[in-house]
C-alpha cells in the first residue's frame, strides 16, 4: 500500500525550537507528578526488560520468577505490565509466569537493527507468538526512513501486522535517536500508525541516543493528530535511558499534557526499563531497594 501520500494530510512537524519550548513547559509541570502515587502507576506500566548477549534459560528464569514474587513481596504496588525478552526466551518466561496476570513481550523481526529479510522477520514474529508472546516489539527500518523509502518501511510493518494473531499487541520502535529530526520522528510515527501498530516506541536502547523528552513530545503529538483524524487510539512507549523515578514521571507528564489522562493506562502507555524498576520501588518506599 502507498502510505507516503497520507503524510500530506497532516501538518508538518514542529521546529526544534518549538519542541524545546514544549519540553521546558512540561518539565515544569512534571514537578506535580513526582510523588509515590504516580511512581506506583509508572511501575505498573513497565515492560521489565532483559536483552543481553549473556541471557540464558537460567538467568531469564530467575529474572522472571523474581518479577512474579513481587506480587507477594509488594502487594501494595501494582506489578509490572510485562516481561520483555528475546524471542528464544518467550517460552522460558511463560513457564515462570504461568498462573499470573503477567504478560510476555518479545522483541522480534531482526531486533535491534531490523536488517534482515522480511521473510525472516515474519517467521521470527510468528514463532514468538506461537511460543506464547502476548506482545511483539519490532523495529521500523531506519535505513529506509533515512533514504526516503517511506512506503517500503511502512509496508514491512503492514505485512508483519497482517501475520499476527488477533489480540497480540504490536509495538513499532522508530529508533528516534537515529532519525534525529522532528520531521523524521513524526513521519516514522505516523507511518507506523498508518500501517497498523498499536504502540509507537522510542528506542531499542542499543544505540547511543535512546529515549529523549524531545522525541516523546513529537511522537505524542503525532499520536494525538492521528487520533483526531481516525478515532483510533495508539499507545506510546518510552524505552532506553529511562532510569530514575523522575524520568518516569516526566514521560508520564508528557503523555498527560499532550494526550490527556485517558492515555494514562497500561493499554496506552508503557515504559521499557530495567534499572528504573529498582529506582521506582525505592522512590515509593522512601528507601533504597535493590529488588532486581
Of the residues 121, 171, 187, 237, only one is catalytic, namely 237
Residue 201 annotated as catalytic: yes
Residue 137 annotated as catalytic: yes
| H or E stretch at 47 | strand 46-49
> Closest by alpha carbon to 109, among 84, 126, 85?
126
Is residue 108 a contact partner of residue 136, using CB atoms and an 8 Å limit? yes
**DSSP alpha helices (H): ranges in the chain?**
16-29, 36-44, 57-73, 90-97, 118-130, 142-146, 150-163, 176-179, 182-194, 213-230, 245-258, 275-285
The cell numbers describing 93, all together, are 518466561
How far is residue 259 CA from its own chain's centroid?
Answer: 16
Beta-bridged to residue 82, according to DSSP, are 47, 103
Contacts 24+ apart (CB under 8 A), 99-102: 100/68, 100/71, 102/64, 102/67, 102/68
Of the residues 134, 137, 198, 247, only one is catalytic, namely 137
Instruction: Provide the b/e sequence for 147-173 (b: ≥16 CB within 10 Å).
Output: eeebbbbbbbbbbbbeebeeebbbbbb
Of the residues 121, 171, 187, 201, only one is catalytic, namely 201
Q: What are phi and psi of 81, to 5 degrees?
A: -75, -40
d(CA 131, CA 140): 23
Which positions are catalytic? Answer: 137, 201, 237
Amino acid at each position: 500500500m502507498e502510505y507516503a501520500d497520507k503524510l500530506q494530510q497532516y501538518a508538518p512537524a514542529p521546529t526544534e525550537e518549538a519542541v524545546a519550548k514544549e519540553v521546558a513547559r512540561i518539565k515544569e509541570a512534571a514537578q506535580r507528578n513526582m510523588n509515590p502515587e504516580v511512581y506506583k502507576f509508572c511501575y505498573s506500566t513497565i515492560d521489565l526488560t532483559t536483552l543481553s548477549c549473556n541471557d540464558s534459560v537460567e538467568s531469564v528464569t530467575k529474572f522472571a520468577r523474581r518479577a512474579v514474587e513481587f506480587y507477594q513481596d509488594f502487594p501494595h504496588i501494582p506489578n509490572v505490565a510485562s516481561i520483555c525478552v528475546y524471542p528464544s526466551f518467550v517460552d522460558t518466561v511463560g513457564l515462570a509466569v504461568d498462573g499470573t496476570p503477567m504478560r510476555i513481550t518479545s522483541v522480534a523481526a531482526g531486533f535491534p537493527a531490523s536488517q534482515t529479510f522480511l521473510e525472516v522477520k515474519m517467521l521470527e514474529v510468528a514463532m514468538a507468538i506461537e511460543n506464547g508472546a502476548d506482545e511483539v516489539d519490532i523495529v521500523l527500518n531506519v535505513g529506509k526512513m533515512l533514504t526516503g523509502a517511506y512506503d517500503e518501511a511502512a509496508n514491512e510493518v503492514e505485512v508483519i501486522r497482517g501475520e499476527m494473531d488477533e489480540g497480540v499487541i504490536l509495538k513499532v520502535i522508530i529508533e528516534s535517536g537515529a532519525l534525529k529530526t522532528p520531521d523524521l520522528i513524526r513521519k516514522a510515527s505516523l507511518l507506523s500508525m498508518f500501517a497498523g501498530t498499536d504502540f509507537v516506541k522510542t528506542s531499542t536502547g542499543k544505540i547511543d541516543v535512546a529515549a529523549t523528552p524531545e522525541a516523546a513530545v513529537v511522537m505524542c503529538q503525532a499520536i494525538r493528530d492521528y487520533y483526531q483524524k481516525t478515532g483510533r487510539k495508539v499507545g506510546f512507549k518510552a524505552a532506553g535511558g529511562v532510569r530514575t523515578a523522575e524520568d518516569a514521571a516526566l514521560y508520564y507528564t508528557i503523555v498527560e499534557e499532550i494526550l490527556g489522562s485517558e492515555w494514562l493506562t497500561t493499554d496506552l502507555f508503557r515504559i521499557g526499563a530495567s534499572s528504573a524498576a529498582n529506582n521506582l520501588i525505592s522512590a515509593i518506599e522512601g528507601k533504597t531497594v535493590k529488588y532486581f
